[in-house]
Amino acid sequence: MADLSTQVVEVVGAKTAALLKSEFEIELVEDLLRHYPRRYEQRGALTDLGNLEIGDHVTVQAQVKSFKNLKNAKGGTRQEVVISDGSGSLTLMFFNQHWREKDLVAGRQGLFAGQVSVFNNKRQLTHPEYELLDDAADVNPDDYAEAFLPVYPATKKLQTWTIERSIDLALTALGKVEDPLPADIRKTEGLIDLDVALHAIHKPTSLEQLEASRLRLKWDEALALQVVLAKQRNEEDSWPAISRTEKPDGLLAAFDARLPFTLTQGQSEVAKTISAEMAAGHPMHRLLQGEVGSGKTVVAVRAMLTVVDSGGQAALLAPTEVLAAQHYRAITNLLGPLAERGKLGAHDEGTGVTLLTGSMTTAARRQALLDITSGQAGIVIGTHALLEDRVDFFDLGLVVIDEQHRFGVEQRATLVGKAGSDRRPHVLVMTATPIPRTVAMTAFGALDISTLSELPAGRSPITSHVVLSAEKPSHLARVWERIVEEVRAGHQAYVVVPRIASQEDKDLKPGQRQAIALEDLAPQLIEGPLAGVRVGIMHGQMPGPDKDEVMQRFANGPAHKDGIDVLISTTVIEVGVDVANATTMVIMDADRFGISQLHQLRGRVGRGSAPGLCLLVTEAPAFSPARERLAAVASTNDGFELAALDLEQRREGDVLGRNQSGMRSSLKLVSILRDESILEQARIAAVDIVNKDPDLDSNPALARAVQSLIDQARAEFVKKS
Ligand code: ADP
Ligand code: MG
């Protein structure tokens, strides 16, 4: 008798156990039984060979059509076996193995596994593994009667049928199973028991049964995840934080009085929530998400001023020097005399605003560090430089993180830790990549979420068009004319390119086209179509001060004597850059950017009162996925819609950015996008469980599942750091 915590080696033998461990880190019976089938073949129904992708590791069910023994030029032999599923066919290729002729007889059915490659324009598997289905010696007749044949995630060394046999052994040996899902949840959600589900997911006899087992097992994942998050949240909440409230007639009041616009309704509501949370004695953890240009910065500045009013400091962490410098400019502009504490004529309530970045001179940095330590700087803005050890705050009351997805969890933790060892600061993280609520929770941990869904009034919508530069070269010429016209009308423009320098030909994949490079395009434009306007260039490898200078000249605008009209740059301008006078953005090789990235980029224009125009230039062929993606971006300005599309098309991790949480990879069945309602129900249940029984003493099975999730996340974290 085995249970879920039995070592697999006791069930499957040493050799297979070693493979299970090396290929999939499977050690316990539970790990094995939770290695779920990737899909199911229906006995008798043949695989669609027409849809195999080159490079995929596949297992297909098909029938042998023909066997050919051929001579090679150099004296060896090769065996070409054609298999078919009725709709398409595939060649199996062997070298010097003519004895396979007695196995692979026309008419026989089998499972064939290998990597799909192409030879002479035909798809083939070279030296595939196979198992013939009508071979009585190899196939258990009981198996054969099943409606569904599981196909497991497998490798070359460990084929799906070996995994299947191991799982059969484990299921046969399995005794009583402790169920981690509390009985009341199973009852209200109508979920089947764990042992039933584990049998059914591997050996379903009907589609209904399979669905029931998947739903049940999704709940296991969702609940364990939500319990971890709920525990984290409780742990965070148990820290004390200093209550921060604004001073009557203080800095915040003075700021509001000089604000040149009124807050949108959304901004006011979020502001109210934030001020209530910061007034409490435990730390705020709030994610503020909002479309590009929705005005998140002002909301953050007001929160920072509240903290300064109460005698503390606020730090704003930005992902790039350009953004940090721009925040510094924007915030000092908004504050005006309020940002000039210590200077003559400054406002009584004023505070110091300090910028700290990696590229500052030693003297400037020393001064900045001093202002931070002494508390002279009420507002500190910086890049990763803020995370360094020697940055020591006088009284850090609020941490604001801009473009959260650019930072890892541990970077947030480093800054948060600077409030001291006995308390926590309030935390506000901001993101312009709108993501569904469940995704945000899962990826960013236990944060409360606010969303700014409306843009400030008076913004004109951005119009986007796809420009087919290869098919219609005259349209590209028109693009440059359009830019010149915008400049003549007093506006500014961006031209974004995917690369700084062109790639070496040897670095290109076969069939891959050279990407347009800044170093090539900029001189062409400056000498050609943009000869009459002032062009600036910016990219990520320029020294910080040079970037700042270019950005400053672009921000100064056309009226200024050394202003810049058109900025040609790489994606360093991607996030947050705010020049209201810029109306046009041209994105070269737009197909090389992701959906969310394009949406972020074009958010740089149409920020003022003049309408924005975004031109997506591409050479991608018609009907390609890239072209469809661009068409989607051009057709809507709804960031949420695009984010959902992006998530569908790409792996969730790519969209969210790096190392947000190792726990996401523990989700095998649950999709954080499609299973929103399960995750939400599980969250409610988890909060309840954790509040009643924080250490899960009454449910050891759940405690184990939770611990294994935590261990997994930690291991993942160690791998990455
Ligand atoms: P994002 O949410 O993308 O960070 P910002 O905070 O940079 O957006 O705001 C974009 C621009 O809108 C800024 O120039 C800001 O001053 C302006 N803005 C913010 N709130 C309002 C408002 N309520 N009315 C008018 N303009 C606003
Ligand atoms: Mg911003």
pLDDT in tens, 632-643: 899 988 877 787
Q: Where are the beta strands (DSSP E) in 601-708?
A: 612-618
* CA-derived radius of gyration, the chain: 30
Verify whether ligand 1 is closer than 6 Å to residue 298 (CB atom).
yes
H or E segment and range at residue 375: none
- The per-residue pLDDT for range 166-204, each reduced to its tens digit, is 999 999 999 989 999 999 999 999 999 999 999 999 998
Q: Are 586 and 495 in contact (CB under 8 A)?
A: yes
Rounded CA separation 377/379 (Å): 5
Predicted local distance difference test score (pLDDT) of residue 658: 40
Is residue 142 scored above 70 in pLDDT?
no
Query: HSE (CB half, 13 Å, CA atoms) of 389?
Result: 0
Q: Is the CB of 331 under 6 A from ligand 1?
A: no
Chain-centre distance of CA 86, in angstroms?
A: 40
Under a CB-based contact definition with an 8 Å cutoff, are residues 351 and 378 in contact? yes
Measure the CA dihedral 23/28/29/31, to 10°. Answer: -60
Percent residues over pLDDT 70 in the chain: 89
Distance from Cα 653 to the centre of ligand 1, integer Å: 29
Q: How confident is the model at residue 656 (pLDDT cuts 50, 70, 90)?
A: very low
Asked if residue 151 has pLDDT above 90, the reply is: no
Mean per-residue pLDDT over the chain, rounded: 85
Helix (H) or strand (E) holding 536: strand 535-538
Give the residue with greater pLDDT, 38 vs 367. 367
Ligand 1 proximity of 581 Cβ (cutoff 6 Å):
no
pLDDT digits (tens, 9 = 90+) for 605-642: 877 778 899 999 999 887 777 888 899 899 988 877 78
Q: ∠ CA(314), CA(320), CA(322), 5° rounding?
A: 95
Q: What pLDDT does residue 708 have? A: 84
User: Ligand 1, atom 18: nearest CA belongs to which residue?
Assistant: 295
pLDDT at 653 over 70: no
Q: Can you tell me the mean pLDDT for 108-112?
A: 84
How confident is the model at residue 343, as a pLDDT?
54
CA atoms within 13 A on the CB side of 571: 18
Per-state percent for the chain, helix, strand, coil, to nearest 5: 45, 20, 35
Average pLDDT rounded to a whole number, residues 660-683: 75
Q: Is the CB of 335 under 6 A from ligand 1?
A: no
**DSSP one-letter code for 138:** T
Higher-scoring residue by pLDDT: 604, 382: 382
> Does the C-beta of 608 come closer than 6 Å to ligand 1?
no
For atom 15 of ligand 1, the residue with the nearest CA is 295
User: pLDDT of 458-509, one tens digit each?
Assistant: 777 789 999 998 888 899 999 999 999 999 999 999 999 999 988 777 777 6
- 571 burial level (CB within 10 Å; 0-12, 13-18, 19+): middle
Instruction: Let me know: does 179 contact 194? Beta carbons within 8 Å.
Output: yes
The predicted structure's pLDDT at residue 156: 83
- CA 646 to chain centroid, in Å, comes to 10
Q: Is 294 in the pocket of ligand 1 (CB under 6 A)?
A: yes
Tokens 């504050």 appear where?
335
Q: Which one is predicted more confidently, 369 or 119?
A: 369
Say whether pTM exceeds 0.75. Answer: no
Instruction: Spell out the alpha helix ranges (H) of 529-586.
Output: 544-556
Closest Cα to atom 23, ligand 1: which residue? 263
Q: Which residue has the tokens 């379903």?
A: 204
Q: Is 337 in the pocket of ligand 1 (CB under 6 A)?
A: no
Tell me, in angstroms, the distance from the centre of ligand 1 to residue 608's CA: 10
Please check the confidence at residue 562 and state whether its pLDDT lies above 80.
yes
Q: How far apart are CA 109 and CA 64, in angstroms?
A: 6
Is 639 a pocket residue for ligand 1 (Cβ < 6 Å)? no
Distance CA 505, CA 496 (A): 22
Judge whether residue 659 has pLDDT over 50: no
Q: What's the token pair of residue 95?
A: 């070298």
State the pLDDT at residue 387. 94
Q: How far apart are CA 323 and CA 345, in angstroms?
A: 29
374 versus 50: the higher-pLDDT residue is 374
Q: Closest by alpha carbon to 573, among 560, 593, 502? A: 593
Residues 398, 141: Cα–Cα separation, whole Å? 67
Q: Which tokens is 351 given?
A: 């505070």
Is the pLDDT higher at 665 or at 508? 508
Structure confidence by residue, pLDDT tens digits, 280-311: 989 999 999 887 778 899 999 999 999 999 99
| Contact (CB, 8 A) for 106 and 64 | yes
Going from the Cα of 299 to the center of ligand 1, the distance in angstroms, rounded, reads 9
Going by C-alpha positions, the residue among 303, 324, 248 that lies closest to residue 547 is 324
Which neighbouring-strand residues pair with 525? none
pLDDT value, residue 665? 61
Alpha carbon of residue 535 to chain centroid: 34
Mutational pocket test of ligand 1: of 261, 270, 431, the residue with most ligand atoms within 8 Å of the beta carbon: 261
Q: Does position 127 have pLDDT exceeding 70, yes or no?
A: yes
Q: Give the pLDDT band (50/70/90) at residue 654.
A: very low
For 335-353, the pLDDT digits (tens) are 988 887 655 555 667 889 9
For residue range 208-264, list pLDDT tens digits in order.
899 999 999 999 999 998 998 888 888 888 888 999 999 998 999 999 999 999 999
Measured in Å, residue 606 CA sits from the centre of ligand 1 at 12
CA distances from 715 to 330, 444, 661, 662, 718 (A): 41, 18, 11, 8, 5
The CB density around residue 196, as the number of other CB atoms within 10 Å, is 16
